[in-house]
A and B are shown apart, each in its own frame.
Chain A
């Protein structure tokens, strides 16, 4: 690719002239939270083109899934992402239920919806904290993360864990929520709602924050459509892409909520969309709790055998559409699992947003799409061992190396 890289074809860095140079960011860098490597070609302060290298968190999870049975895979997929693990297991068990033609009880549907929304609340608040920290607001970051603790506390009250909840199972959920617990959770969520109002005022009405984010990092509706971005990034660019409405799963068909969209596509509208979704999520959570007070019944059905077949399951993860394709061969081990995470689509869009903005805006633009590198790098195939180019190293070997053989 030549010197005159336009915005559309800026995938490789291209040659340099005398006033241009390359700024490498990563793979481990204070402005990035996970292992990824950005190569930015700059002219003075202006970014001309960008390239990204992935694979620093490469774990071969999709290949691992082909060696474990359906039940063990739940716990494997829970470990794809630390932030949105519930929605990963939800998408997985939903897809398996589709293969088996299993209908889950109503109570399980509402518990799943409630936890999925709680996860969205925690994830969006986590993002908001990181975004304001990157813009220099350290105290606000602490403040937002303190309120996020309410969401994690509720997770702990229901599941016993703050993050890895292990709630989903094929055919339903593993733990029930008692009436007593529902009443306590309801109070906590109402507190959370008040705090979100305060946070919204602090973020959206701050003149400095506004000037740092307004008109910065615009993707544009046409580009958004072309690159197939999903989740808040698509919605901030005016596309109504929301799997909760398009392909209703769990109890979303029966729960009232709105899709929040903005047309500007800049970082500011991404903040607006995510804060708007916080309100919607709190509304959905309260609605689900209300229903859970009224309906009883079992929380799971027994599953015996899975027929051969294939299915596609999708959920709206906090970052966008999460896609699972599972091919079953009738045994207790899946033949093939394909996972397409939302960050996989959105990270690619970063390369199209960056050119034209200054280097100082790069961290917030990169963070604005909420890139989740562990999601993107979950990845697939181990190299064929027969060719003999894979060196297998165990954790014990590594620790021996580091500790000089003392372990």
Chain B
């Protein structure tokens, strides 16, 4: 686990804005949205298992996307959550589906329900809403 964190630190350098660990073994990192592909590429190299993609609406601060990856060995409950922020006016981020296929539905879900656009998603259709649902504007 220390290896993974050190490599992430080295990779991000000054782009690592925030980094902390809670008492339950979860790590949280805040970085730039432009670096997400690098970070996820590194995590895949270390065999991290994709768990989920969350999105928080931070109001005027934009949207916060949280990529949760599992690094649990037995008895070590490590979850690494990578947070990135996209602006409210232009909520666009690169899709990670080409690296992590498990994120396919998660990105589609965030796309239709939060209005964040994932560039380069191979299948950007509606997931839960009907296909004929009107296109929304970002409020």
Contacts and interface: CB of A to CB of B under 8 A. Distances in A.
A345 B77 CA distance: 20
Nearest to A95: B24
Most chain A beta-carbon contacts within 10 A, residue among B28, B101, B129: B101
Contacts of A58: 128-129
A311 B56 contact: no
A301 interface: no
Nearest to A243: B72
B78 to A, nearest CB: 9
Interface residues of A, number: 44
Contacts of B126: 55
B51 A348 contact: no
A335 B51 contact: no
Contacts of B136: 383-384, 387, 389
Interface string A153-183: 0000000000000000000000000000000
A12 B128 contact: no
B137 A327 contact: no
Interface stretch (A109-117, A245-253, A274-282): A245-253
Contacts, number: 104
Contact of B104 (A323, A348, A377, A387): A348
Q: Secondary structure at chain B's binding surface: helix, strand, loop or mixed?
A: mixed
A46 interface: no
A228 interface: yes
A221 interface: no
Contacts of B74: 245-246
A101 B23 contact: yes
Contact of A55 (B51, B56, B106, B130): B130
Contacts of B3: none
Contacts of B101: 226-227
Nearest to B69: A228
B127 A55 contact: yes
B127 A323 contact: no
B81 interface: yes
B88 to A, nearest CB: 13
B12 interface: no
A340 B122 CA distance: 22
Interface string B48-73: 01111011110000000010101011
Interface string A321-363: 1010101000000011010100011001000000000000000
Most chain A beta-carbon contacts within 10 A, residue among B23, B28, B128, B134: B128
B102 interface: yes
A312 interface: yes
Contacts of A335: 56
B123 interface: yes
A380 B108 CA distance: 12
B113 A381 contact: yes
Given A246-B74, A312-B68, A389-B134, A11 B123 contact: yes
18 contacts: A55-B126, A58-B128, A101-B23, A228-B49, A228-B50, A245-B75, A246-B70, A314-B77, A325-B68, A338-B52, A338-B55, A340-B68, A348-B104, A380-B113, A381-B114, A384-B136, A387-B136, A389-B134
Closest 3 CB pairs of A and B: A228-B102, A247-B77, A340-B52
